[in-house]
Structure 1
Amino acid sequence: MPAPDLIEVRRYGGGGPLVALLHGGPGAPGSMVSLAWELAGGFTVLEPLQRRSGGAPLTVARHVEDLAVVLPEGAALVGWSWGAMLALSFAAAHPGRAHSLALVGCGTYDAADREVYERALVMRLGEGSLRRVEELRRRMAGAAGAQGDRLLAALGRLMEEAQAYDALPETGDPVRVDRQGHEETWGDVLRLQAEGVEPAAFAAIT
């Protein structure tokens, strides 16, 4: 178990270059476990499980500093979706700490790109799945607690089906979805963009 205020970090493998996998969501810790096992044969893999909601509202800066505490220097960062955005934020705040970045399906940084993403998503989902996405989003608006977590998990599965290519088999390990953490963190992502902080800050990445 981690110390009281440290995030949990799962470790896989035991030899080879050091790789840290940053999951998407926000609020979907555990969603990189299939890739972690896939890489474990040739790498030392760390899977940080991002902080859950329940204390002070979650922010990008809090997630960045959580990583700064638990990740050793020189790890390659592999981020998926929101995790790719977090990798960029971490590398900008701590230049030189990461060996390299691999950004997979990185999130968007302005309204125009989000519109392009939504159009592509509509094309990939198909009519039936699109109706299901709209229904889940509508139900999430009035949901809280465990019900909100379940709805976000269902939405995440649909989104992953639309975005993934040649997906790895699931391991059976549960994804600990945190809808409140998702909303708190994503709200801060949008604030940083509206204030012009990100992506401008990424110029510091070395």
Structure 2
Amino acid sequence: MSCKKGSTRRTRPQKYQNSTSYRNNLHDNSKKTKKINSTEVAEVCKRCQEIIEWKIKYKKYKPLSQAKTCTKCHNKAVKDAYHTICIPCASNMEVCCKCGKKEEIVQHKAPTETERLRVMAELEREIEGLSERKRRAYHRYMDKLNGKKKKRKQQVQEENDGEGDETEAINSKNDSKEISIEEYFKNAREKIEMLKAAMEENDFLDDFDDLGIEDEEDFEDTDSEYRD
């Protein structure tokens, strides 16, 4: 700081500067440090996220040894350090889990494997109540959402082997945009609700159309087989 009376602003840069950035695992490769570095900072606002990430980076982060009491529901449901509100209460109130303010949540916590399997099983049970055509429409929509493409015919592939390699690579990059699991489940539920609302009494005819019988010639062929 300056020696001038009343001045609190320093004009010179910092005298001693590090040549390399700080690494919290330079001399500590324990399981605890690896677990802390892999901690997912989610369900908080941007400011709280930066605070927690700073604590992790400079080895100031202290994980919880047991669940903490939520300040809203008063249940021991807080499992993340420095959080004051559990995730269900924060999602219902649309507030940050750390500061409790109504700020934009930067990142949502990804569901665990058991939660993902449970939601997938619920979606499969809901799909079973749809007609055959609606189920096919649902699967086509989800395949398109995942970026999957229909396989091209061999003739088209052979013709475009030499010329279309670069264009296919560009298209594959554009189509490989991954979406989060939360967005996947949200879109799946919205599609199922839309298909349920669109179901009518003539779904039997729609299922009949899915059998692939398009022309009257198909009926004539089947009749001739029975006559023979």
TM-score range, shorter chain: under 0.3
Q: TM-score under structure 2 normalisation? A: 0.24
The structure whose residues are more often strand, as a share, is 1
Larger radius of gyration: 2
Q: TM-score under structure 1 normalisation? A: 0.26
